[in-house]
Amino acid sequence: MTTLYIIIAIVIIYFIASKYLSKGSQVISTSDLKSLMKEKNPDYFYMDVRTPGEFKRNKIKGFRNIPLNQLMNSLNQIPKDKKLIVICQSGSRSTSACRQLVKSGYPDVTNVRGGMNMWR
């Protein structure tokens, strides 16, 4: 019976981790993002996958708005030779965006943990 509980626990942990982690991408905190943006490194492309209305109400200077529902049709606007930093409101949509970008062949994709909710 103990083995069964261990297997169930492993399956639950796997599903929780797969929901919050983007396979093939990295995760940074908003404080790490602030430090990174101070460098003004041209090798980075910052994108916000929230809706245009959300973006208009509250945005970070330097981020480009490419809503998640338009992402796959907007790949020609996203450079493959830059390091992508992706943010949304909470981290959920950006996690999904990161997965889609990695599957589309983008080699360096980073999700901002906690999204705009953690940006202060």
pLDDT in tens, 16-33: 555 544 457 899 999 999
pLDDT at 103 over 90: yes
The pLDDT, as a whole number, for residue 32 is 96
Give the model's pLDDT for residue 101.
97
Residue 59 confidence (pLDDT) above 80: yes
Q: What residues act catalytically?
A: 88
Which of the four pLDDT bands, split at 50, 70 and 90, describes residue 13? low
Report the Cα 66 to chain-centroid distance in Å: 12
Q: Where are the alpha helices (DSSP H) in the chain?
A: 2-20, 30-38, 52-57, 92-103, 115-118
Q: How far apart are CA 54 and CA 4, in angstroms?
A: 45
Please state which CATH number belongs to domain 2-118. Answer: 3.40.250.10
